[in-house]
Amino acid sequence: MFTIILGVTGSIAAHKAAGIASQLVKDGHDVHCVMTRSATEFITALTLQVISRNPVLVSLEDEKQSWKPGHIDLADRADLLLVAPATANTLGNFANGLAPDPLSGIYLATRAPVLIAPAMNGKMWQHPATQRNVDRLSQDGCQFIGPEDEGMLACGYSGPGRLMAQDQIITAAEKILSQPASQS
């Protein structure tokens, strides 16, 4: 069993995090969900708490259970940080070392492998600033899955930007977890 931190950000695809968390738990993993505040507009923390069987971290104010800050504890315990869906905003925070929320703090503090599954409007995905952030994160060792190259987006456009299918995200996560620690 591995400890997986599932980061959920404010994309319409955030509702798909429930299925990802559910499958990871069924596969025997200890899943801890961390949501950005904007993600709570699309899915509730309670939903992810019940599915993951662990408290959900949304803000730094949620970290009052222990002497050790919750985001640091999770960063230390993580075998994988999986962010699905990841918005352009979160990619920008990660790439620039900003930590306005617990998820970004975990990203900066963990030494676990990081798998990012972006989901956003195609124009946002293709914007040079977003692509610079993706390049920077790739250079920093993050791995990406997606987004889909083509499909109908929630905004009504057709094109790139859709979150990859749940089974593909989980397969990518399992592949990373199956690698010896020295290779990941």
Retrieve residue 44's tokens: 């509730």
State the pTM of this model: 0.93
Whether residue 34 contacts residue 103, with contact meaning beta carbons closer than 8 Å, is answered with yes
> Which of 45, 109, 38 is closest to 71 using CA atoms?
109
How is the chain split into domains, by residue range?
Answer: 3-178
Interval 40-79: pLDDT, tens: 999 999 999 999 999 999 987 665 665 566 788 899 999 9
What would the DSSP string read from start to end of 140-161? TT-EE----SS-B-TTS-BSS-
* Residue 155 is among the residues annotated as catalytic for this protein: yes
Q: Please tell me which residue, 146 or 112, carries the higher pLDDT value.
A: 112
Determine the residue type at 62. D
Question: Where does 3-178 sit in CATH, by number?
Answer: 3.40.50.1950
Q: Which of 155, 166, 168, 174 is catalytic?
A: 155
